[in-house]
Chains A and B, each alone.
Chain A
Amino acid sequence: MSEFDYTQLDDVIHSRIRLAIMAVLVGVEAAEFTFLKEMVGATDGNLSIHLKKLEEAHYLAVRKEFVNKKPLSTYRLTAKGRRAFELYVERLEHLIKI
């Protein structure tokens, strides 16, 4: 088991909820808000805050539309987000080897 300094990691991803969001989106092409909520296990408000932070970092792209008069937000990883996630995982793996 290796303990390491969290400052070596991407601040934007380095939060349990944001990391979970990124991990869900890495595994699929795109996911709707309720799916993310179910997978991550966060409340609506909490999830929205973290999604906003990832969006602001341009790690996520969102498509908002109305389906059957209900709002639907679909999120997908951007190329920048995918790269950041890969880098984050690489850094974790590297730190384990230290």
Chain B
Amino acid sequence: MESINAQDELAFIKKVIQDSRRVAVYNGIDYIVWGILVALGMFLSVALIWFKLEHKFGSWTQLVLWILVMGGGWIFSLVRHYRNNATERVHTMSGTILSMLWLACGITIMTFIFVGAPFEQVNPTPAIAAVLGIGFLVSGVLLDFVYFKLAAIGWWLGSLLMFYLNSPWARPKGLNFHIDMLLFGTMMILFQVVPGIILYRRWREEVGKV
């Protein structure tokens, strides 16, 4: 009669589950690419205003810049999503929820940029920062990644600051209306690109362990 050791069997099960989850950890590339793109867009946007390039090239330059930035990001994400779906060897529920979460955040942010900003003449950056706070908190919980949870707090504090900078109380004191765009670009680097790189390194380590 065959007999086995129950503790060994349980330890084996635990190891297999941990190993497969390690490989299924998300690698964070989208955060890095989108973070760099948007930060670049923000800095270029401010440059267009400060160096009065809009007068030289026309008032539509801002719109074209953001169509290029957002379009580039969406093309990258959609191509990656399509390729991953075709070749990804493992699917997780948290991965599906993450995709849907950022799709929802992306659509909301696009609405702020391409509808709210041109038609309502409001600076969309404080509201976008608040939406990113939601995205990062939920992502941090799903991925069990503390840097994203901290990034969420950073985005919300930044949102408060940017709302203040765009308020009637701040503007008469001589604060630059577009300083929040520089702030947003910097936040993109600090609260998206940097945690994205840390997540990517964690993914490399986890995959290497298996």
Contacts and interface: CB of A to CB of B under 8 A. Distances in A.
- A contact face: mostly helix, strand, loop, or mixed: helix
B10 A96 contact: yes
14 contacts: A1-B5, A3-B5, A5-B3, A6-B3, A6-B4, A7-B1, A16-B12, A23-B13, A27-B16, A27-B20, A35-B90, A39-B16, A89-B13, A96-B7
Nearest to A76: B91
Interface of A: 1-7, 16, 19-20, 23-24, 26-32, 34-35, 39-40, 67-68, 74, 89, 92-93, 95-96
Contacts of A26: 17
B16 A34 contact: no
Interface of B: 1-7, 9-10, 12-13, 16-21, 23-24, 86-93, 95-96, 210
A92 B5 CA distance: 9
Contact of A32 (B4, B5, B90): B90
Contact of A23 (B5, B16, B92, B95): B16
A23 B20 contact: yes
Contacts of B1: 5-7
Contacts, number: 87
Nearest to A4: B6
Contact of B10 (A1, A29, A31, A93): A93
A29 B17 contact: no
- B contact face: mostly helix, strand, loop, or mixed: helix
Nearest to A34: B89
Nearest to A92: B6
Nearest to B21: A27
Nearest to A25: B20
Contacts of B17: 23-24, 26-27
A28 B20 contact: yes
Scoring A27, A34, A40, A68 by chain B CB atoms within 10 A of each residue's CB, the highest score goes to A27
Given A27-B21, A29-B92, A67 B7 contact: no
B179 to A, nearest CB: 45
Contacts of B88: 32
A31 B3 contact: no
Contacts of B24: 27-28
User: Sorted from nearest, which 4 A-B pairs have the closest CB atoms?
Assistant: A35-B89, A23-B16, A32-B89, A27-B17
A35 to B, nearest CB: 4
Nearest to A39: B20
Given A24-B17, A26-B17, A28-B91, A95 B6 contact: yes
A2 B6 contact: yes
A30 B90 CA distance: 6
Nearest to A31: B90
B19 A39 contact: yes
Contacts of B12: 16, 19-20, 23
Given A27-B21, A29-B96, A31-B20, A19 B9 contact: yes
